[in-house]
Structure 1
Amino acid sequence: MTNSEQRGYHGIDIGGTKIELVAFDAAFAEVHRERIATPTADFEAFVQAIVTLVSRGDAALGLAAPVGIGLPGIIDIATGRQISSNVPALNGRQVADSLQQALGRPVAIGNDCQCFALSEAQGGAADGLPTMFGAIIGTGAGGGYCVDGRLQRGLNAVAGEWGHWTVPAPLLALHGLPVYDCPCGKQGCLERYVAGPGMSRLHAHFGGDGAEPAAIVARANVGDALAERTLAVHLDLLAHAVAGLVLSYDPHALVLGGGLSNLAHLYERLPEAVRRHLFRGVHVPPILPPRFGDAGGARGAALLARQLA
């Protein structure tokens, strides 16, 4: 065990509106937490904000601790530049290199979905299992895959990006749905149908007002036919996606994250819906709520720093 492993880690969760740093000791007990607004337009201001947060975290731990960051978007492995981020200041920038130079230490970077998965694989809902998949269903849809508690990243570090699988044309036709364009540049991505805004989009397509998911569920619970139809179609599309995850990764458990992970009907109805999309003899793994919820991003980032140290 190295000295850094004995003393602590910083985990930083970066979002479109806030940056949160949590400093953990060696046992991953929280020592310090701080949240600030994200500088979205000025890259130098963004870097300085991270430096300031880490400096305060170092003071709380009493050492210059390794840093892990959950960053939105992906990194082009050929150039090291950030793309598809919801923080405009980061796009086209070599974020990892810039932060490593500014902080004077290695920086481990994963996307927010991967950090969520790692947090739930180590001490979370899937703790101790040989494999798990963490599936975020919130503003977007993505995930991460862990084996023996370690995040598996792949050549492009995009393993688990199921939200950008394409919905099959026959399934769209079955439900009378159009092919939606996706900001990623593709068409018909699952994210456009099964993420939170996707459920609202389905509701509007069927003639509703495009209500928020929680409102759609509440209406369905009192017998609103349009809301019931929206939930049924959303469930079938999500079940198709989860069946694909089962066939691709065969995880021992699947942990849901993001805003839709708070919808109780998913845990009640999703397993059977997934089974209908699988061939005989393939079993649906447990589908679990997250243990850490919104706190998982920073914790997972710190765990990633330990994994890659």
Structure 2
Amino acid sequence: MSPLFFGLDIGGTKIELAACDATLAVLHRERIATPGADFDAFVAQTAALVRRAEAALGRPAQAVGLGMPGVADAATGCQLSSNVPALNGRRVAPALAAALGRTVHLGNDCQCFALSEAQGGAADGLPSMFGAILGTGAGGGFCVGGRLLAGYSGLAGEWGHGPASAALLAAHGLPVLDCPCGLRGCLERYVSGSGLAAIHRLRGGDARDAEAVHALAAQGDAAARAALAIHLDLLAQGLAGLVLVLDPHAIVLGGGLSKLQRLYDELPGAIARHLFRGARVPPVLPPRFGDAGGARGAALLARQRFTPSAP
């Protein structure tokens, strides 16, 4: 009988479970609302979600993967910078492992997205890929040969907390913004969906989100059109840095902004302007699994760590 691998994608509003067989075919899926403020409720309801899936499939999972927002402190294992208040400062994986009576394999949710797109997704079969999330924040993951490389402290892919070019910010008349991570001038503050809305407000607009900026630009709003141009330039600069350091064979976009066709049309040329002559821009691709890839990627992570020889 084929082994089962469960993936849990933890979001600010929902927890999604995908129960997969060894081929990563999804056999069972369920979503519940995220208990945002009560840690004990989060652990209890997440464990119950796993048990319901096992009952529905008639057998236990070989391994459980957990895609978490934010990062885990390398020294303490406590979750940091999470958009789920109940999880900040908590050792989430050990608590859930104790509730389930088995090991839980922890990964960043953006890394799980990248892994899903590297295996069976938009970058399937490529030697390497970078998955770049552009949602409320900006994060990502780097895969080589279909396997996630998490790095020394598990931070590989946190490109959104690299610095935006000070010269570029000055050229566009933008201030150096504080970031909730504790640093200043992080790319995430400008290139994420919320960053695009922030740029519009800094240019005199009042958009609450990226969707509003695009709607205003379509109506001819000058501040919105300027915000889109600035956003594209800063995003291209950030992705050009990834190309220079990692030279991935493809960049797969995720998050809310990944639905915008204009990025696939305009980003390659914009990235090229931030590279030296002769450097090639890899394909910039839309995701195959969209927002459903996180749970699948967490299941892949569980399979990868449970069976190190597995792809």
Q: Same fold (TM over 0.5)?
A: yes
* Deviations, residues 62-117 of structure 1 (Å, cap 9, x unaligned): 22111011111111111111111111221222111111121111111111100000
1:175 aligns with 2:172: yes
Partner of 1:209: 206
- The alpha carbon displacement at 1:199 in A equals 0.5
Q: Secondary structure at the match of 1:142?
A: strand
| 2:56 counterpart residue number | 60
Partners of 2:190 and 2:112 in 1: how far apart?
23
Question: Does structure 2 retain, via aligned residues, the 8 Å contact 1:115–1:300?
Answer: yes
What is the one-letter code of the residue matched to 1:172? L
Structure 2 gaps of 5+ residues are 307-311
Query: Equivalent residue for 1:27?
Result: 23
Q: Counterparts of 2:289 and 2:113 in 1: how far apart (Å)?
A: 9
Q: Which residue of 2 aligns with 1:110?
A: 107
The answer to whether the Cα contact below 8 Å between 1:137 and 1:196 also exists between their aligned partners in 2 is yes
Structure 2 length-normalised TM: 0.95
- SS, match of residue 282 in structure 1: coil
Task: State how far apart, in whole Å, the 1-side matches of 2:228 and 2:41 are.
Answer: 43
Instruction: Give CA deviations for 1:128-171 in whole Å, capped at 9, x if unaligned.
Output: 00000000000000000000000000111010101001112111
Question: Residue 120 of structure 1 is aligned with which of 117, 121, 126?
Answer: 117
Match of 2:241 among 241, 244, 253: 244
Q: CA–CA distance in 2 between the matches of 1:207 and 1:166?
A: 24
1:146 and 2:151 are equivalent in the alignment: no
Say whether the 8 Å CA contact 1:10–1:67 is kept in structure 2.
Answer: yes
What's the offset of the Cα at 1:288? 0.2
Paired with 2:49 and 2:220, the residues of 1 have a C-alpha distance of 49
Code of the aligned partner of 2:10: I
Counterpart position of 1:92: 89
Residues 182-208 of structure 1: CA distance to partner in whole angstroms, max 9, x if unpaired? 000111111001111110111111111
Q: CA deviation at 1:224?
A: 3.0
CA displacement, residues 184-242 of structure 1 (integer Å, 9 cap, x when unaligned): 01111110011111101111111111243223223334543222211110000000000
CA distance in 1, matches of 2:150, 2:22: 24
Is the partner of 1:110 in helix, strand or coil?
A: strand
Between the aligned partners of 1:16 and 1:53, the Cα distance in structure 2 is: 17
**Which of 283, 286, 297 matches 1:286?**
283
User: Where in structure 2 are the equivalents of 1:190-205 lying within 5 Å?
Assistant: 190-205=187-202
Amino acid paired to 2:295:
A
Partner residue of 2:185 out of 188, 201, 208: 188
The whole-number CA distance in structure 2 between the counterparts of 1:258 and 1:248 is 23
Matched residues in 1 for 2:85 and 2:174: separation?
31
1:50 to 38, 46, 67: 46
Q: Distance in 1 between matches of 2:93 and 2:67?
A: 11
Gapped runs of 5+ residues in structure 1?
none
Partner-residue secondary structure (3-state), 2:28: strand
Q: Amino acid of the residue matched to residue 18 of structure 1? A: K
The one of 1, 10, 13 equivalent to 1:14 is 10
Of stretches 58-67 and 286-295 in structure 1, the one that deviates more from structure 2 is: 58-67
Provide the secondary structure at the position in 1 that maps to 2:133.
Answer: strand
Task: Give the CA RMSD over aligned residues.
Answer: 1.2
1:223-302 alignment to 2 at 5 Å?
Answer: 223-302=220-299
Give the match's secondary structure for 2:241.
helix
Q: Is the 8 A contact 1:203 1:211 kept in 2?
A: no
Per-residue displacement from partner, 1:233-263 (whole Å, max 9, x unpaired)? 0000000000001011110000000000011
The alignment of Structure 1 onto Structure 2 pairs a total of residues equal to 305
Do the aligned residues in 2 keep the contact of 1:214 with 1:263 (CA within 8 Å)? no
How many Å separate the matches in 2 of 1:233 and 1:41? 36
Between 221-230 and 35-44, the greater mean CA deviation after superposition: 221-230
Cα distance in 2 for residues equivalent to 1:190 and 1:206:
18
